[in-house]
Amino acid sequence: METPCINICVLDDASGICIGCGRSGGEIARWVEMSPAERRAIMDTLPERLKRLERESAAGDAEPASGDAEPASGDVEPASGEALP
């Protein structure tokens, strides 16, 4: 089965797009269920998605958004899905 996966499976927080292959989490989850034509149609969009993600990431690096500050010393952020005590 053709796949764009390059084993860098990390979803960008802002876009939900994998920084390795350019697919969304939903596309990754449904990949094996898709027809070859559906997979090919998505793969045709991936180079532009990855370029856009790279541009947006570079723009974000240039100007930090408010609220993106590092936690204060001693503060610990909970892992995803965990509630604060």
Between the CA atoms of 77, 84, 9 and 30, what dihedral angle is there, to the nearest 10 degrees? -160
Q: Determine the pLDDT at residue 73.
A: 47
Q: Which of 47, 46, 44 has its CA nearest to residue 36?
A: 44
> pLDDT tens for residues 1-37?
999 999 999 999 999 999 999 999 999 999 999 999 9
Give the predicted TM-score (pTM) of the model.
0.67
